[in-house]
Structure 1
Amino acid sequence: MPLYEHVFISRQDLSNAQAESLVEHFSTVLADNGGTVVDSEYWGVKTMAYKINKNRKGHYAFLRTNAPSGAVQEMERLMRLHDDVMRVLTIKVDEHAEGPSVQMQKRDERDNRRERR
């Protein structure tokens, strides 16, 4: 089955528990349609570069999935219909990266960046 990575932003006025329950809800949608969630991460509330639906901040969540395209399309359709979800991004990948995503790594653990001049 194809491998996907999904990031979605939900409204800032949700509680942390409600935002994490959205991850569980969409994971069950994938499971019902024959897919599996390999890994999920809740990135927390982050400030966005511009306002979306009059919101300056949003709850970010990340999913790594192994699912058929029909299951992904159904999940995206339900995300777009859900009132609490503001944006959705889905990317098809060749393989999932090991360990936590870059957002969850501490600054010290990331690859060393070039020195500024």
Structure 2
Amino acid sequence: MALYEHVFIVRPDVSPAQMETLLEETKTLIETNGGKTGKIEYWGLRNLSYRINKSRKGHYGLIDIDANGAVIDELERLQRLSEDVMRFMTLRVDEHTDQPSAILSKKDDRRPRRDFRS
């Protein structure tokens, strides 16, 4: 089986509780078709870089998946049919990490900015 990261964007008028339910439904879909899920992250309501269906914001979710191609095809087919999902993207990766994604990592972990004033 291959390792994947699946990110999807849901309409902004969906509540965070409904987004959590959608993440759980996606998890059960993957597991019933023979796949395994790793970390599941809800990134919250975030600004989009361009409008999608007249929306400027969307709820983001990430799921790490260990499954074969048939499971991914079924997942993408169902998300393509969903009224709530605006966009999705599935990437094949070499390995999963246990650390939080770059979106959820703290801003304190960044290097301090240098002052270039003389």
State how far apart, in whole Å, the 1-side matches of 2:92 and 2:60 are: 19
State the Cα distance separating 1:65 from its structure 2 match. 0.8
Task: Quote the residue 1:24 is aligned against.
Answer: 24
- Check conservation: 2:47, 2:58, Cα contact below 8 A: yes
Mapping of residues 101-112 of structure 1, within 5 Å: 101-110=101-110, 112=111
State the Cα distance separating 1:113 from its structure 2 match. 7.6
Structure whose alpha-carbon radius of gyration is higher: 2
Structure 1, unpaired ranges of 5+: none
CA-atom RMSD in angstroms: 1.5
Deviations 1:27-62 (CA, angstroms, capped at 9, x unpaired): 111111100111100000001011101111000000
Moved over 2 A (4+): 112-117
Normalising by structure 2, we get a TM-score of: 0.92
Are residues 82 and 113 of structure 1, via their aligned partners in 2, closer, same or farther at CA, if it must alter by over 3 Å? farther
State how far apart, in whole Å, the 2-side matches of 1:65 and 1:3 are: 6
State how far apart, in whole Å, the 2-side matches of 1:85 and 1:25 are: 13
Structure 2, unpaired ranges of 5+: none
How many aligned residue pairs are there?
116
Q: Identity across aligned pairs (percent)?
A: 47
Task: Quote the residue 1:93 is aligned against.
Answer: 93
